[in-house]
Amino acid sequence: MVVETILQAIGNTPLVRLRRCAPENGAELWLKLEYTNPTGSMKDRMALAMINGAERDGLISPGDTVVEYTGGSTGPAVALVCRAKGYRALIVIADCFTSERFQLMRALGADLEVVPSVEGPPKVTPQDIANMVARASELAAEPGHYATDQFNNPYIIPDHRDHLGREIWNQTIGRVTAFCHGMGTATSLMGVSDALKPHGVFIQGHEPAGSAAISGGAPGPFLVQGWAGSVMPHWDPDRVDHVEAIPDDEAIEMTRRLAAEDGIFAGISTGANVVGAHRLAERLGATAVIVSLAVDTGFKYMSVSPYGDA
């Protein structure tokens, strides 16, 4: 691949079949390596879609400040896109997230507004997310500031439908029978569903067992950074066939296995996705062709389990 700008390197990520961490019943499990995007995360797609959409609709002007809240990887992605396009990035983040995220955003030129967390690192709570959203809204009200507001942004789902979803369909040559993925904003799950569900593909969402709001559980702390643990505005039950609640300990153990056994060096949400995919394989049987996402790079988790205690 040869590109003129860093933004053209976003998307068209590899699709890799798992071997040692594959389901025991013989179902195929493929991971799309979203950590090969420029900031090491699938959120590069989201950031580019949000800012391109704002430019098309005349909502943002040269030199403006883009304000976004982040609990996972959206912050670095927004910082990258803003730096490439000439905007200032102002990112709101709680102090419960890994230090690597702070370092990466600052390296990409973002200014950070850090808010205190409810329980302290590394535990995340739905209230931490709500506090970040509220502070970002306050900052975005200032002149020359624009809120991309990922939880309510209208540009993300169509972009995932037209790019991520279409890539999965084309890379599997239409063989995919199921897609599963965790929910932060829920936009990637909704967008891929729009692309694949018309072809009869089974769609499964994942949420943290410690805060399984969609499944009817009580809110609480969890360790999968980037997930919401609450019902997001983009959530649409008609687009999803099943929701699976994933325990932190199983996600962490699978994350460790993926690196050691299949060479997939990814974050905890990827381990959670594979745990959910194994459960989905049991549900659908040996003929299933399941696709999920390797969401972000393990380098963002070097200070926490499973890599920080390795």
Count CA atoms closer than 13 A to 75's CA, side-chain side.
Answer: 32
Mean pLDDT of 196-206: 99
**Are residues 115 and 183 located together in one domain of the fold?**
no
- Asked whether residue 244 is assigned to any structural domain, the reply reads yes
pLDDT at 216 over 60: yes
Say what the pLDDT of residue 76 is: 96
- pLDDT computed for residue 124 by the predictor: 85
Give the bridge partners for 30, in sequence order: 17, 291
Residue 310 domain flag: no
pLDDT of residue 121: 86
Q: Greater confidence, 295 or 123?
A: 295
What is the token pair recorded at 279?
């459960």
Residues 296 and 37: beta-carbon distance below 8 Å: no
pLDDT at 231: 84
Residue 27 in domain: yes
- The enclosing H or E element of 15 equals strand 15-17
Same domain, 243 and 97: no
Number of domains, the chain = 2
pLDDT score at 149: 97
Which of the pair, 224 or 42, is modelled with greater confidence? Answer: 42
Cβ(116)–Cβ(46) under 8 Å?
A: no
Question: Which pLDDT band holds residue 98 (cuts at 50, 70, 90)?
Answer: confident
Grade residue 8 by pLDDT with cuts at 50, 70 and 90.
very high
**CB count in 10 Å sphere of residue 57:** 10
Query: And the tokens for 288?
Result: 């299933």
CATH number at 199 reads 3.40.50.1100
Residue 17 has pLDDT above 70, yes or no: yes
Query: Does residue 54 fall inside a structural domain?
Result: yes
Question: Does residue 259 belong to any structural domain of this protein?
Answer: yes
pLDDT value at 253 more than 80: yes
Residues 261 and 133 in one domain: no
Q: Across all residues in the chain, what is the average pLDDT? A: 95
* Overall pTM > 0.75: yes
**Residue 223: predicted pLDDT:** 82
Greater confidence, 173 or 307? 173
Task: Look up 269 and say whether it is catalytic.
Answer: yes
Q: How confident is the model at residue 114 (pLDDT cuts 50, 70, 90)?
A: very high
Helix (H) or strand (E) holding 206: strand 202-208
Question: Which one from 32, 41, 43, 117 is the annotated catalytic residue?
Answer: 43
- Mean pLDDT value of segment 74-91: 98
* Residues contacting 155, CB < 8 A, separation 6+: 49, 50, 52, 53, 54
Active-site position among 193, 230, 269, 292? 269
Judge if 105 and 190 occupy the same domain.
no
Q: Which amino acid is present at 309? A: D
Please tell me the distance from the alpha carbon of residue 180 to that of residue 228, in angstroms, as a whole number. Answer: 16
Whether residue 99 lies in the annotated active site: no
- pLDDT tens-digit map of 122-145: 888 889 999 999 999 999 999 999
Give the number of other CB atoms < 10 A from CB of residue 144: 10
Instruction: Indicate the residue among 82, 117, 147 that finishes a domain.
Output: 147
Residue 193 shares a structural domain with residue 274: yes
309: confidence class by pLDDT, cuts 50, 70, 90: confident
310 pLDDT above the threshold of 60: no
Q: Residue 251's pLDDT band (boundaries 50, 70, 90)?
A: very high
Domain of 231 in residue numbering reads as 6-37+164-301
Do 129 and 188 lie in a common domain? no
Is 1 within the bounds of a domain? no
- The C-alpha torsion from 139 through 142 and 144 to 146, rounded to 10°, is 40
